[in-house]
Amino acid sequence: MRLLLGVTGSIAAYKAAELASRFTKDGHEVDVIMTASATKLVTPVTFQTLTGRKVYTELFGELDVADVRHISLARGADIALVAPATANVIGKLAGGIADDMLTTVLTAFFPKPVYIAPAMNTAMYENPVVRENIIKLTRVGYSFIEPVEGRLACGDVGKGALAGLDDIVEAVYGRF
């Protein structure tokens, strides 16, 4: 299986490194796409080392006229997983905004399976706008891996912590 792993700017981004490692050890090709905010929390080198593959961070990085990268990444993968997914990226996807490498690839990925594992503060997760964005994306075929209750980065305790890694892996493997 070839998996696209989108990593966004949630403090849970460090857990995505373990996901990349697990999928790679299981024999899958993992292409990691990081948002600019994610690179402030975990370096692309971490993911490159764990997957043995190039990590994508910029929409207009190295240009190759023979390869429109956001299209070739979308065409070449079997499944996509965004873990952790911030309210920002969920809102962009729901609004059809494709302004970075991750949202552009995921927009071109349709109708292939996309799993989204949110991680954010409880107030953000329960915000009616975020809830509507999740409903909208679910209606058009995106699958969500619900966050769990736990201690959040701000010290609050509530629903918004990234789902357990075993649950995320199981959801992805359940599709194949």
Give residue-wise pLDDT tens across range 32-50.
999 999 999 999 999 999 9
154 catalytically annotated: yes
Mean pLDDT over 150-171 rounds to: 91
Least confident of 38-42, 66-70, 93-97, 126-130: 66-70
pLDDT confidence of residue 68 = 54
CB-side neighbour CA atoms (13 Å) of 37: 16
Among all chains, which residue has been given the structure tokens 């292939």?
112
Mean pLDDT over 108-134 rounds to: 95
Q: Please give the angle made by the CA atoms of 18, 53 and 71, to the nearest 5 degrees.
A: 110
Give residue-wise pLDDT tens across range 70-94.
677 878 899 999 999 999 999 999 9
Mean pLDDT over 125-135 rounds to: 98
Q: Give the dihedral sign, CA 159/133/59/172.
A: positive
Domain limits, the chain: 2-175
Checking if the pLDDT of 63 tops 60, the result is: no
| CATH numeric code, 2-175 | 3.40.50.1950
pLDDT confidence of residue 176 = 66
User: Catalytic one among 154, 156, 175, 176?
Assistant: 154
Among all chains, which residue has been given the structure tokens 């736990």?
150
Largest CA distance in the chain: 49
Checking if the pLDDT of 157 tops 90, the result is: no
